[in-house]
Structure 1
Amino acid sequence: MLLDNKQVAIIGGGPGGLILARLLQQKGANVKVYERDTDQYVRQQGATLDLHHETGLRALREGGLIEAFRENYRPGAERVTITDNNAVVHYTEFENNPLTDLDDAHARPEIDRGPLRDLLIASLQDGTMVWDSKFAALNKNGSGWNILFDNGTSAYADLVIAADGANSKARKYITDIERIYSGFTIIEGNIYNAEKNAPHLWKLTNGGKVYAHWNGKAIVLSAKGEGSLSFYTITREADNWVTDSGIDFTNKESVFTWFKQRFSDWGTAWYEIFVTDDSYFVARPQYYFPQDQTWESLTNLTVLGDAAHQTPPSGDGVNQAMLDAVLLCEALCNSNFNTVQEAIAFYEKEMLSRASAITDEAMEQVENMLSENNIKFMLDFFALNSHG
């Protein structure tokens, strides 16, 4: 095997990096995952994730983790309600039975990010995770790399895989191709103990998801298993709006003032998001990489997931990262390439081609989600794609 007697380093402990570590260890590779978090439980992450049959679920199957997933996913959380600006329901899947057949090709089972991360970490060999390792730099060392971290530590690896997400610091050692602002910005937040702190929206979400669309704007709600409600707004905003708007996104009242103005044609039902102090907000401008991006493959460094091919949110990001992991592992371990560079080049060619098509689809989807008559688009989309 190409990786015999080689040390592999994965930068970033998200789903893509973790499932890659699992797959490589199954093949006998020596792998370390370097993660910036100080420990496994220091923070909880974002909204729920829906894993797809041919991508995320495929990766879990190949990693022997589908039963662990079955124990942790949330049947019923995949059910969607679509409302207008006044929280009036136009479509709901709550009459559908909760999803139980994980072999259904149309299955999109939901799992919270925390439990997914936990089950992936639990599948790794002891000592694989190296916490409190915020990436700082790479220095060449022979045919490999010295990896430097913010805390002053370092490590050597023969092969480095950058899986450090949308704000990747390791990608620049592969390419200087920059991200492009999509024109969309998300304000993400989380309401803890939502049944108490946002009872009407909690009831509306009913353990699943709410997509609210009206007049070029959107709000998405997702219930989480530990009782919190994640939400995000999606609006068209100018480049640098986050820094130039004067909004203090750490201050609830500042964000609420913006919301009432920006969503002035929406009803007051959504104000419940801002009632409690048991919440947080963060601004996330959305970027993508050029669809025609390409680079010369290296001998000892490659990239996967958002670090390689970030797109606006379309429900496919984590799934594509996990598929990257499957295909990269296959190239490195299951193929008859003569060198690691040949394997990387084969993987990257397919990955970039696939990512180009996914980016086109994601951009078109978000454009439609923020179109003037976006609620009609959403209703038509779910009418066409419903398998309940």
Structure 2
Amino acid sequence: MSHVNSIAPAGPGETPHHTVIVVGGGQAGLSISYYLKQAHIDHLVIEKHTVAHTWRSQRWDAFCLVTPNWQCALPDYPYRGDDPHGFMKKDEIIAYLDGFIAMVDAPVLEHTEVRKVKRLPAGGYSVSTSNGEYTADHVVVASGGYHTPIVPRMAERLPADIVQLQSSHYRNPQALPEGAVLVVGSGQSGSQIAEDLHLAGRKVYLAVGEAPRCARFYRGRDVVDWLADMRYYDMPVEQHPLREGVRDNTNHYATGRDGGRDIDLRRFALEGMELYGRLDDLRDGCLRFAPNLIANLDRADDTYNRINASIDAFIDKHDIDAPPGAPYLPVWRPEGERTSLDLAASGITSIIWCIGFTPDFSWVDAPVFNGRGHPVHERGITLQDGLYFIGLPWLHTWGSGRFSGIARDAAHVVAALRSAVDASAATSASLAA
């Protein structure tokens, strides 16, 4: 791991104060620290584990980026490798992050859990941690929005000899017991883990959800390149047709594996993968599925073709010379809906839950959340003085929770912070005079 500017925990009887406390030491929190250091604003980053912990510990062995390397654009730390249109693998991503960590040299208190952030009556915040008490004038929550893995209660009724993993704990096919594997969920993680198992020769059953898909390459270029030229990644959330509702969307599935390709579940089915609809229940030793496989596959393909059609329109409008394109035509269709699967007869010995995460901001004691527990903000700035969020999906644009957009978001939040700090200093100076 690269050098970290480690800070000692608070000593007994001390209540250290910082102008800003940043909760979370991932790429979002470190980006905030980078701009705070440039602005010469005192701050402390508090991280529950170690910096960039999620990238080191919650990715499977064959994990790689699904967006091209050129989109890795952390603050003043763009991708500098020789394959901008490739897709970094797990170890390369960690090496890229380690370089950024060393450059930022953030003041970090690691192995420290923030248990409560609370507004103080006189202003500012108390920050209670597993390593003592702190106070701050401002708090930036940079812990992301993926906190609690979603595992349905029906999992409790599965036979004890079936290995159950959440997607963040999956590593490779060899780590699973012999036998078939049920993957539940077909978003980015589910589809890629199902592919990983399928390529390893494992028998895979996949419960297909409503995740959309997109082409990896179309008309001679990566779809991401086309969408960048179309300024899709610069679209602010308030201009998106779904407005804030886009924050609830499941990411489109594709892969950067082996240089990048489509993930076509229909082709996997031709090759022996068993596709079902949404997993609903377990009764009498049988898994029960919703009869929506056909609709889910068709909907994913409709999205795929709709994105490509928008690229066609862009090419035509700007008279761009590009290879011809054509709509995707299904290579396989289910004969019907299968709604039950005998668990014992299937030979399933492992189940991997890939149905996402829910946010948990219960430790933030502030009236800034909506009825679903999501913070209400404008580009990360809440109505509660001194409280900010960073690193959330569609905080401002599509790239807000990714390497591509975090620099823009962090610069905006720190600019607001700097204005607040300067205003407070001016008020103090006026009172002192």
TM over 0.5: no
Give the structure with higher Rg (CA). Answer: 2
TM-score normalised by L of structure 1 = 0.45
TM-score normalised by L of structure 2 = 0.41
